[in-house]
Structure 1
Amino acid sequence: MKERVTLKREDQKKTLADQAYKQIEEAIVTLQLAPGSIVSETELVELIGIGRTPTREAIQRLARDRLIRVLPKRGLLVAPLDLMGQMKLLEVRRQVEGLIIRLATKRASDEHRRAFAQLDAEFREIAFANDGLGFVRCDRGFNELCITAAQNEYAEDAMRPLMGLSRRFWLFHHQQCGAALPPLALLHADTAAAMAIGDEEGGQRVFEELLENVESSARISLAMNFSAT
């Protein structure tokens, strides 16, 4: 009986840590926490309203994802925007996310395919509404579903550090440079639609178009010599 209670507490702790991670990650990705700013653990606890222990676990995960850098005796550095780093990230993302999309399209369950179909509809609504924040939230759900459906923990470990940084960079570029949302959202919709019906070739083709769109945005930012610290 005692063991069962312990397991329940551990599950609850994990759930709180997951909630803390999701809330802080969104604050970073949506630029609520400015790139290059220094925050304290106490400030994050107050921001999300979750206790210190789950918040510390979330900070460790965010550090692994390169969204936060722990500065001993100084605080927590929100990762600065790094345009050259973004280009390097895209080199890796093309290979890793391409693999995950292939695996997810092949291995998705019926439940996963229904979820991809729902994301297809949501991305199209977001494109019509030109909703930047809605897009980054929907894209997070798409990434998580792809990882779950792919059923490969090694690919997941390689993909996770790329996700938040990619979404944050796109939103920054959208807000600062006027990057067009509808074409990218529709490419995501087309990718999700292909995955919903198990079309591996179609999904890969649209994904390549999607990456070209993202890389074009990165090159434009690089050419404009944008920097934010």
Structure 2
Amino acid sequence: MNQIEITNESATARAYRALERAIVTLELAPGTVTTEGHLIERLGYGRTPVREAIQRLAWEGLVEIRPRAGLAIAPLHAGDWLRVLDARTGVEIVLARSAARFTTPDAGERFQDSAQAMHRAVLAADVIAFLEADKALDDAMALAADNPFAARLAAPLQTHSRRFWFRYQRETGLAESAAHHVELIRKILDRDEAGAAAEAERLMVLLRGHAQAAISR
């Protein structure tokens, strides 16, 4: 996402992105309890955008709102990664196929930007930059697929999956994961619907392997 897009985001969207990133990267540790006031102070935004961001995160299952007791960050259990992927696989295939069919020049530029960002992240061994590129790819996919119902279903599952990947796979999985994502982007830009769907499925198989390894540790 470029600087103009970030500037044009609402305060609620910026608060959401900041909190989502903190949860995914475990800065807000799984199972810990915080408060709305602490998050307002942490982010530097007003009460309304932070509260709205918290409501969205609660709907996505990343935060539990406990009246008069604070906000609990969702726990992280390795076995749940497979459940996330079970729910995610079908919708990712739908999005990939639709993106290849309907992609636009604007979405294509976003795909190319995310591929380049992933390449740079691998060269720099920068996990946070990789996660940001992965998020940008998800946003490009949602734009290109022209299916808001599938995109809204996929978004929280993608966030949960990034969180699991960061916890269990980031040390060894960067280059391999990037290669699969870049191949998916290539199929979409080639408007190869069947190829894009197959690459999306291969990526989910890769993630399932990571999830199964995490369970066995």
With structure 1 as the length reference, what TM-score do the two structures score? 0.87
Partner SS state of residue 64, structure 2: strand
User: Deviation string for 1:2-58 (max 9, x for gaps)?
Assistant: xxxxxxxxxx9x811111101111111111110111010011101111000110000
2:167 corresponds to: 172
Pick one of 178, 188, 191 that aligns with 2:184. 191
CA contact (8 A) 1:33 1:78 kept: yes
2:39 corresponding residue in structure 1 = 44
Equivalent residues in 2 for 1:49-64, closer than 5 Å = 49-64=44-59
For 1:143 and 1:187, how far apart are their aligned partners in 2?
Answer: 14
Which structure 2 segments of 5+ residues have no match? 1-6
In the alignment, is the contact (CA less than 8 A) between 1:81 and 1:169 conserved in 2? yes
Measure, in 2, the Cα distance between the counterparts of 1:89 and 1:174: 16
Match of 2:127 among 124, 127, 132: 132
| Identical-pair percentage | 31
What runs of 5+ residues in structure 1 fail to find an aligned partner? Answer: 1-11, 225-229
1:211 and 2:196 aligned: no
Find the counterpart in structure 1 of residue 216 from structure 2: 223
Kindly report the root-mean-square deviation, in angstroms, between the aligned alpha carbons of the 2 structures. 1.6
Tell me whether 1:112 sits opposite 2:131 in the alignment: no
Letter in 1 for 2:212: R
Equivalent pair of 1:16/1:50 in contact (CA under 8 Å): yes
Residue 174 of structure 2 corresponds to which residue in structure 1? 181
Equivalent residue, structure 1, for 2:3:
none
Structure 2 residue 62 is matched with structure 1 residue 67: yes
Number of corresponding residues: 210
**Larger-gyration structure (1/2):** 1
How far is the alpha carbon of 1:77 from its aligned partner? 0.6
* Match status 1:86 vs 2:84: no
